[in-house]
Amino acid sequence: MTLLFHMMAMKTFFSDDEMAQVLTQYTAGHLQAIAPISAGTVQTNVLLTTTQGQFVLKYYENRSHKSVLFEAYLLHYLKKRAFPCVAPLPQQNGKSVGTLRGKAYMLYPFMAGKHLTLPTRTQQQRIVRLAAQLQTLTSSYRPHYEAHRWNYSPQLCHQLVHATAAKNPNAQSQTKLAWFEQQLNALNLPKTLPKAICHCDYELPNLLFTDNSATADLIALLDFDDANRTYRTFDLVFLLDMWSWSDGIFDLARARDIVYSYQQTRPLSALEKAYIFEVHHLKRLFEGVWFFHTGDLPDLHAKRAIDHLNTYGKAVYSEALFG
């Protein structure tokens, strides 16, 4: 069996007594065993075995209580609309988010399944259509506590890169910062560009399948830790980056196939088509923020990707995807 989440490294360790006390707030049985879940690097996850089954406690090391509430409300909204995800269990008081040692947590039912290492083309298409389904379901959804998430936009990217550069204010940081500012100023994304909820992390450990065979069905999208309200094409360009690059070359034919699969579920508007090139740049710029301090500007992977996309140019890129 494979565990429910893209499981994160243990940063906080809990005693049996603490976990037993947490369980008293739920109707999930009495604690029998706890086990740390070791993979990953961000949040802490613990597998709890009780007299009623197995559950996963997700303990948010770096999220505010209201940011976690955003996630809880979103997951309940999606679950009610039959989207394949796992919603947190309510406590006996009806709340989904608890507090332990001053940090938020949620308790999820354990779901058995497998994470694929090499999905087939058909399985990739299913993932792409799932992203389109998410944007369809949330196109008119205005999330609770939206302001407590990093909702991806050029303005947010500008704020984050300045804050990141300020942590190590040397000449190389200033050179990279100037490049980021030039790229962000060139985006000019319209205020009317449609937005929805994007998951923003379709790495394979966040996708649960029935088994690890070539015919396995996709049963759940996991770990909405990075989900936010942003441009509806953000998830699409994330998937383009997952499967359209080979040896540093962006395969326009493969990208066209992914876009076609996405539009089988949610056709893009004319405005979305007109600005997907810029959204693709924005996605890469956010990636560059996360890895801002890894090497000099020419070594920045985001810069190399953007430079390569620019060798095609917007017109060729758009014609290849939609023409």
| 173-193 tens-digit pLDDT | 999 999 999 999 999 999 999
The tokens of 229 are what? 């309200």
- For 42, how many CA atoms within 13 A lie in the half-sphere containing its CB? 11
Give 158's contacts (C-beta < 8 A, 6+ positions apart).
180, 181, 184
pLDDT tens across 245-261, in order?
999 999 999 999 999 99
Q: Name the 3-class secondary structure at 10.
A: coil
Dihedral angle, C-alpha 119, 211, 75, 97, nearest 10 °: -120
**Measured distance CA(96)–CA(224) in Å, rounded:** 15
CATH 3.90.1200.10 assigned to domain 121-322? The reply is yes
Q: 50 and 30 in contact (C-beta within 8 Å)? A: yes
Q: List the domain boundaries for the chain.
A: 16-109, 121-322
- Tell how many helices (H) and how many strands (E) occur in the chain: 9, 11
pLDDT tens across 274-289, in order?
999 999 999 999 999 9
Superfamily of domain 16-109: Phosphorylase Kinase; domain 1 (3.30.200.20)
pLDDT tens across 265-319, in order?
999 999 999 999 999 999 999 999 999 999 899 999 999 999 999 999 999 999 9
Residue (of 132, 140, 129) closest to 195 by Cα position: 140
**Measured distance CA(201)–CA(35) in Å, rounded:** 25
Query: For the whole prediction, is pTM greater than 0.75?
Result: yes
Q: 85 and 34 in contact (C-beta within 8 Å)? A: no
Q: 68 and 106 in contact (C-beta within 8 Å)? A: yes
